[in-house]
Structure 1
């Protein structure tokens, strides 16, 4: 870190030379904001994408020609809904044959039980009839199950992301028919360079900011990651959003949406609570030691005038502040000199 300690008087003179006394105004005043950055925190940003946390390639357990595939990509379906069906005729014949054999074996077992009670047959003959019944029952239940599985049903609510086959095509056992995705169970996927994976050994926090909701960050946690890069391109990391403010009914996020993953790593290089702010955000008040900034409240869209204690200049336009601010707060960087405490403002994006 390269820096230079700035006497309070010098900094006051520097700022007050380009500031004006605040002027009370009516109505929101346009301002630009910056985030207060912790000097005990390294911030890294990665490109991410929304991927499904629950998905399934649905397939039949037997081969046969498709006779029904009445879903389209993007279509919503419910649990138990029939997605596709293969020709059941051969399985119906097999089912009827096994059913007849089962019914015959059942009748024979009932007759054998009566004969055994009258000691008209031996115990060995009865056990042989009982074994034949058990085999016939198992074959019948298997045929029944096979017939039921000629219809492919959705195991959970979701939507069809992709169709792998077309109707009337002959499919093989285990061949993917459609990909079903649960839109309510999402995860974030991004790739981290191998050189950065050691950040996870320090105290850290993760946030996700979606491209279609700029400026809104949601807390996230690591779900899993691979210890080493499988192909040399980086380490795949999967996150889940655990922020109570994140609601899919309010924030329309879906599979394939782009986002930014922000990683904050605590380093402990400066005194606890030290933050960095742009010098343009500081306004000089009356007296040499009276420096303050305007902190933005996103709920009320108003600003709060807050006194700070500056410590050190970083580079040409950044100042170390040791009292009055917390990392993550938003402060005014343009338009501050004409604000008053409690004034409503309008935030300019650029």
Structure 2
């Protein structure tokens, strides 16, 4: 029995290390299995922004003003009090339609006097002509009567013209763009009573800063103008529909009181809205199309731009690379893309680099990223 107990004790001593090793392996296995959720937690959620195909990033915005391509400032040749204002802004008129009329009482009185003088001079001239033929008067007397007749006829014609000048008529078919005067107002000669624009096309002008004008390449601009390439768009309301326009010209001299040059665009008159001369607009200009610089610029959030500790002088953005390109929400990794920062706009910063349409960039928290970090697109939950 003693021997058996001894043998049993020795066998237990031999088995104990193996039992202990088995327990340790089991514990390690359990720990390994428990670590999987922790590893999954190392996939960081990130907010992404996608680069689109539009030229929006390269468009510069300027305030502009509408001008009719064919327009006329209508005014009276003589001054006086407005007796009748026949049009308002937006009215369509035909050639010859009355636009406004002055108080014509003085002009009518002058015409009546001129007509009386003319009739008297005409009668005198006729009597003197008959008397001259009969030899009853001298040639000089007849010549004097004839001169008075011609003068009276000229005065009558002038008085008729003065009366006609009291009525302002449209010189061509068009639309009244604006009426800067009020009825019964006393106006002067050549003072604008109404502005008439001819339908068909409109011009839009805006001011381009001097430093940007210096970047314009004349050969490229001529090519754009000749080909009719669309390099600008016009918005007639904030965030409204954009209408393509063609680059027409820019002034060769600086605008008075500023360091900018006036640029003129032209476009067909929109059919779906009413556009009148003097209206304010927003111009979006593809400046790259007019300069020698043709690199693609991308607009990204300012928070997407950062630097790395090992290269603090080189700006980068972080691009998301999905494990499954077919699944936009699949986990993935990040990679740094070196970029050259450009102009800061109200909606981000322009950058140039090895980027492409459809690239998805990390939009926030970029300072904490590192190469090949595991991430997953963050999806906004409903109610958050």
TM over 0.5: yes
Displacement of 1:96 after TM fit?
1.2
Structure with greater proportional helix content: 2
Instruction: Provide, for residues 71-103 of structure 1, a one-character-per-residue CA deviation record: whole Å limited to 9, x for no partner.
Output: 333322222222222222222121111011112
Aligned to 1:221: 248
> Which entry has the higher C-alpha Rg, 1 or 2?
2
- SS in structure 2 of the partner of residue 96 of structure 1: helix
Contact 1:183-1:254 at 8 Å conserved across structures:
no
User: Which region of structure 1 is more displaced relative to structure 2, 88-97 or 57-66?
Assistant: 57-66
Q: How does 1:186-335 map onto structure 2 within 5 Å?
A: 186-198=202-214, 199-204=216-221, 205=224, 207-211=231-235, 212-214=240-242, 217-222=244-249, 225-241=251-267, 246=268, 248-249=270-271, 253-255=275-277, 256=279, 257-263=281-287, 264-265=289-290, 267=292, 315-318=353-356, 333=358
Instruction: Using CA pairs under 8 Å that are at least 6 residues apart, name the structure with larger relative contact order, 1 or 2.
Output: 1
2:22 corresponding residue in structure 1: none
In structure 2, the partner of 1:84 is 100
Are the counterparts in 2 of residues 82 and 152 from structure 1 also a CA contact under 8 Å? yes
Q: Is contact 1:49–1:259 with CA below 8 Å preserved after alignment?
A: no
The CA deviation string for residues 142-190 of structure 1, in whole angstroms up to 9 with x for no partner, is 1111111222222233333333333233334444433333343421201
Superposition pairs for residues 136-175 of structure 1, below 5 Å?
A: 136-175=152-191
SS in 2 for 1:137: helix
- The TM-score, its normalising length taken from structure 2, stands at 0.53
Q: Could you give the per-residue CA deviations for residues 30-81 of structure 1, whole angstroms, max 9, x where no partner exists?
A: x9962599xxxxx763524432234444333334333222333332222222
C-alpha spacing 1:107/1:259, structure 2 compared with 1 (3 Å): same
Contact residue 217 and residue 291 of structure 2 kept, 8 A: no
Structure 1: runs of 5+ lacking an equivalent: 1-30, 38-42, 285-313, 319-331, 335-350
Secondary structure, in 3 states, of the residue corresponding to 2:181? coil
Answering whether residue 82 of structure 2 is matched by residue 66 of structure 1, we say yes
1:341 is matched with which residue? none
2:111 alignment partner, one of 89, 95, 107: 95
Distance 1:333 1:276 in 2: 14
Give 1:111 shift. 3.0
Q: 2: distance between equivalents of 1:102 and 1:116?
A: 21
The alpha-carbon deviation at position 137 of structure 1 amounts to 0.9
Q: What count of residue pairs does the alignment treat as equivalent?
A: 245
Query: What CA deviation, in whole Å up to 9, does each residue of 1:310-346 have, x standing for no partner?
Result: xxxx72415xxxxxxxxxxxxx748xxxxxxxxxxxx
- Unpaired runs of 5+ residues, structure 2, are 1-49, 225-229, 299-318, 326-351, 360-384
